[in-house]
Amino acid sequence: MSDLPPLPVTFRPSRTRAVLLTAGVAIFVVITTVAMLLEQLSPGERLSFVFTAALLAGVLFLLSRPKVVADESGVTVVNIAGRRRLAWAEIIQVNLRPGDPWVFLNLSDGTSLPALGIQPGIAKQRAIADARALRALAEARSTARPDEDQG
């Protein structure tokens, strides 16, 4: 297939990531500024404001973490709290059905792995194009076929 993206390629929800990172920084700056401007707060109370701001920003930064990295030897799926490395042969099918919140990878061991790095959220057409590209890469590089693993 000639329209395969060159490897390595990283798929991630760029617009969603930009919104989350911007919101995280803005929340941290606003809450910290408010804590410093309120004169009636004790140092401990100010510290708790800053800690809360850092915690909220940290959650948003974690939510911006997902990505899918494809290279010559396989795919690395980075989700919010975990990372998993897959060989191309382990990926049987790449699915992004209407209404799915993100791509699901059907694996040769019979399980399904969510790949949050490709999600239709804000940029639906981009997610569809990314899912098609990953599907084409998986089909071109995988030695396993869905009809071989059923039975």
Rounded to an integer, what distance in angstroms lies between the CA atom of residue 5 and that of residue 103?
A: 18
53 alpha-carbon distance from chain centroid: 23
pTM: 0.83
Reported as a single tens digit per residue, the pLDDT across 36-73 is 999 999 999 999 999 999 999 999 999 999 999 999 99
Say if CB 94 and CB 135 are below 8 A apart. Answer: yes
In this predicted structure, the answer to whether residue 75 has a pLDDT above a threshold of 60 is yes
Phi, psi of 149 (to 5 degrees): -95, 0
| pLDDT-above-90 percentage for the chain | 86
